[in-house]
Amino acid sequence: MNRFAIALAATVSIVAASVAPARAQAPTTLLNVSYDIARELYAEINTAFIKHWKAKTGQDITVNQSHNGSSRQARSILEGLEADVVTFNQVTDVQVLYDKGKLIPKDWATRLPNNSSPYYSLPAFLVRAGNPKGIKDWGDLVKPGVQVIFPNPKTSGNARYTYLAAYAYAKHTFNDEAKADAFIKQLFANVPVFDTGGRAATTTFVERGTGDVLITFEAETSSIRDLSGKDAGGKDKFEVVVPPTSLLAEFPVTVVDKYADKHGTRALATAYLEFLYSPEGQAIELKGYNRVADQAVMAKNKDKFPDVKLYRVEEEFGGWDKLNAEHLNAGAKLDLLFGGK
C-alpha cells in the first residue's frame, strides 16, 4: 500500500507539473493558427514582426505558428485550440468561429482593411517545362488525356477556390447551368489523385511526377517553380500559367477575441495583424508571390503579376452564405458533382 501511495504521489506531481506551465502562459507569446501552405510566409513575417515589436516596445516576444488545412485548423480552435490570431485562406473557416463558437464578433471582416484580407491570390496553373499539353485556360483542363492535380475540394480550402474559379469560368463560357455542371464533372474526372491538402498535391505533382498540371494559388505555383530548380537543359522544370480569368481568393485574418482576451494578448495580436498591412509586411507577402492590398505596390510589380480578370465571390456567387448553401455544404452542388452524395 505504501508503494502505491508513493506511486500515486509521483503521478499526481507529474500531472501537476505538466499542467502548471500551460496556465501560467506569458502574455508575450502569440499563437498564429494558419493554413497549410503558409509556413514559410509566416516564418518570415514572424521574424520581422518580432524585430519590429522589439524596436517599438523593447519587449521580447515569441510567435508560435501552427499550419494545417484551414478547415481543420478552424475545427481545432472550435474544439479548444487557443489561437490568438487566425490567418486562413477561406472566409468560411473564419466565419465558422463566429457561427459555431462565438469566439469572434459577427462583424469581424470589417475590422481590418480590404475585408480583413492583407493579401490575396488566385488559382493558377503550374505545368511541366515547355507546357507539352498546351494548357492556357480552364477549357484546356477537360481535354481527354490531360491529368489535372489539385487537392480534395472537400478537405482543402485551396481546392475549393479551384472549384469555384472553374465554375465561374464555365458559367461565363456556357451560360448554361447543365453545361457548367458537365464541365466541372469532366474536370473532376481528369483528376487522378485527390490529396487532402495543398502541400500533398504539390508533392504528388512535383515529386511523384503525376499529372500534367497542378492547380493551386498563384503564390504557390511561382514559389514551386523557383524552388524546383532547373532541368538538365538549364530551363525551369515548371512553368506558371495564369489563366485569363480566375477567382479572387482572399486570405482573411482576425484576432480570436475570446482567447486573446483570456491570454491578455489583444494589443499584441492586433499589432501583429496590422503589421501584415504595413509596407514591411506587404513586401514580405509580395516576395512570396502574393498579390497585396496596397495597389500602389501592385502597380510597381506589374511584371510579376500578369493581368487577369478576377471574379469575386460576392458578385459571382451572391456572397459566402449563398455560396455555402448552393455549392459547398453537404449535399449541395459540389458534393453532387464530386461524386454522388
Partner 1 sequence: MRRSVIPGFGLALGITFLYLGAIVLLPLCALILKASDVGLAQFWGIMSSPRTLSALRVTVTMALAATAFNAVYGLLLAWVLARYEFPGKRLLDALVDVPFALPTAVAGLALTALFSKNGWFGAPLDALGLQVAYTPLGIAIAMAFTSIPFVVRTVQPVIEDLGSDVEEAGRSLGANDFQILWRVIFPAIFPAFLAGCSLSFARSLGEFGAVIFIAGNQPMKTEIVALLTFIRLEEYNYEAAAAIAVVMLLMAFTMLIITNAVQAWHLRYLGRGDA
- Applying CB under 8 A, the residues found at the interface with partner 1 are 4, 69, 71-72, 75, 96, 100, 152, 154-155, 191-196, 200, 204, 207-210, 328-330, 335, 338-341
Tell me how far apart the alpha carbons of residues 66 and 237 are, in angstroms, rounded to a whole number.
Answer: 30
Q: Report which DSSP code applies to 125.
A: E
Tell me how far apart the alpha carbons of residues 222 and 312 are, in angstroms, rounded to a whole number.
Answer: 22
Residue 192, Cβ density class (10 Å: 0-12 exposed, 13-18 middle, ≥19 buried):
exposed
Least distance to partner 1 from the beta carbon of 148, Å?
12
Least distance to partner 1 from the beta carbon of 193, Å?
5
Q: How far apart are the first and last CA of the chain?
A: 59
Least distance to partner 1 from the beta carbon of 175, Å?
28
Comparison of 58 and 132: residue with beta carbon closer to partner 1: 132
Comparison of 60 and 79: residue with beta carbon closer to partner 1: 79
H/E segment holding residue 32: strand 29-35
Comparison of 244 and 339: residue with beta carbon closer to partner 1: 339
Classify residue 105 as left (phi > 0), alpha (psi -120 to 50) or beta. Answer: beta
Residue 10, Cβ density class (10 Å: 0-12 exposed, 13-18 middle, ≥19 buried):
exposed
Comparison of 95 and 246: residue with beta carbon closer to partner 1: 95
Least distance to partner 1 from the beta carbon of 195, Å?
7
Comparison of 144 and 340: residue with beta carbon closer to partner 1: 340
Tell me how far apart the alpha carbons of residues 105 and 97 are, in angstroms, rounded to a whole number.
Answer: 9
How much of the chain is in helix, strand and coil states, percent to nearest 5? Answer: 50, 15, 30
H/E segment holding residue 217: strand 213-217
Q: CA 336 → CA 139, 320, 329, distances in Å?
A: 21, 19, 11
Comparison of 4 and 23: residue with beta carbon closer to partner 1: 4
The answer to whether the CB of 178 falls within 8 A of the CB of 336 is no
Q: Report which DSSP code applies to 236.
A: B
Least distance to partner 1 from the beta carbon of 336, Å?
10
Least distance to partner 1 from the beta carbon of 213, Å?
16
Comparison of 45 and 142: residue with beta carbon closer to partner 1: 142
Least distance to partner 1 from the beta carbon of 11, Å?
11
Comparison of 61 and 149: residue with beta carbon closer to partner 1: 149
Least distance to partner 1 from the beta carbon of 151, Å?
9
Tell me how far apart the alpha carbons of residues 93 and 70 are, in angstroms, rounded to a whole number.
Answer: 7
Comparison of 197 and 252: residue with beta carbon closer to partner 1: 197
| DSSP three-state, residue 120 | strand
Least distance to partner 1 from the beta carbon of 35, Å?
13
Place of cell 504595413: 278
